[in-house]
Amino acid sequence: MKIFIDSAEVDEIKKYSGIIDGVTTNPTLLRIAVEKRKEVKLKDYIAEICEIAGKGRPVSLEVASVLPEKMISEAEYLYRNFNGIAGNVVVKIPISVGSFGSSIDGLKVIKEISGKGIPVNATLIMTPSQAFLAAKAGASYVSPFVGRVDDYIRKKLGISFGKEDYYDSSAVQEYKKLKLSEAKMIEDAFKLYDLEGNSGVLSGVDLVEKIKRSFENYGIRTEIIAASIRNVRQVYQIMIVGPQIVTLPAYVLEDMIKHPKTEEGVKIFYEDAEKSGYRELFEG
């Protein structure tokens, strides 16, 4: 499984260079990054990100508009102006523009852009059907939003949570079995499976698994980027499901590296190396 960093911070991209296999950005991340650097022009900053990522490490850059003709124009602009730096630009197109236009606009843009040889990352994927249609339209990547799906389900079920809290859908179901009568359990199960527009998806990780299985069923080669990751436990589950790619914020990457017993072991070994004279072997 490849690891991308979900960041527009050049310092974070540099820090994990050599570990990461690509970069995903969005207008919000870029706005925050550039606002910290008042003297930097956005165009120059994006060029720097592409250069730092380097050849063979895709950089997803998103369109800003919701009207099809403008999305197409912006996708072409991004590819024309930045792909020449390291040959690594992928254009992010939302699967749907919501109330801004027709529900099929995003798919039509994906089809047209990919038909011009521009790799597309279909973003804001929340259901298996969205991913399937994006792949059929020619998207090189689909990005299911794991964390946002978990948020949606928890809000609908009335479960309080913090942004980085782990959502264990199986534990929720076990809790309900203990606390609820059989009739209420059945009622609540229907509520979970029939959330508005959620297509029976039980969690963000479940979404990734359903997309992967459907792609395998039909030999679809579009790569899955598990996105909107909030914590390490989600990453572990994603690793078991096995999409091609996961994109992570820097704090999750950092948490993946750390463990108290690792830190304790390093301290003990360092101290023993001092006491035993072992370190002197390397000083002669």
184 is catalytic: no
**Matching residue, tokens 């925050």:** 32
DSSP structural state of residue 56 = T
Please name each of the domains of the chain with its CATH number.
2-272 (3.20.20.70)
Give the per-residue pLDDT at 229: 98
Question: How many angstroms separate the CA atoms of 161 and 224, rounded?
Answer: 27
Question: How many angstroms separate the CA atoms of 268 and 224, rounded?
Answer: 42
Pick the catalytic residue: 92, 116, 156, 267?
92
Cα 134 off chain centre by: 16
Nearest 10 degrees: CA dihedral of 168, 146, 34, 21? 110
Give the per-residue pLDDT at 160: 87
Three-class DSSP labels, 204-268: HHHHHHHHHHHHHHCCCCCEEEEECCCCHHHHHHHHHHCCCEEEECHHHHHHHHCCHHHHHHHHH
Give the per-residue pLDDT at 188: 57
- Taking only the tens of pLDDT, the chain with its 284 residues reads 999 999 999 999 999 999 999 999 999 999 999 999 888 999 999 999 999 999 999 999 999 999 999 999 999 999 999 999 999 999 999 999 877 768 899 999 999 999 999 999 999 999 999 999 999 999 999 999 999 999 998 888 788 899 999 888 776 555 555 555 544 544 455 556 566 677 788 899 999 999 999 999 999 999 999 999 999 999 999 999 999 999 999 999 999 999 999 999 999 999 999 889 898 888 86
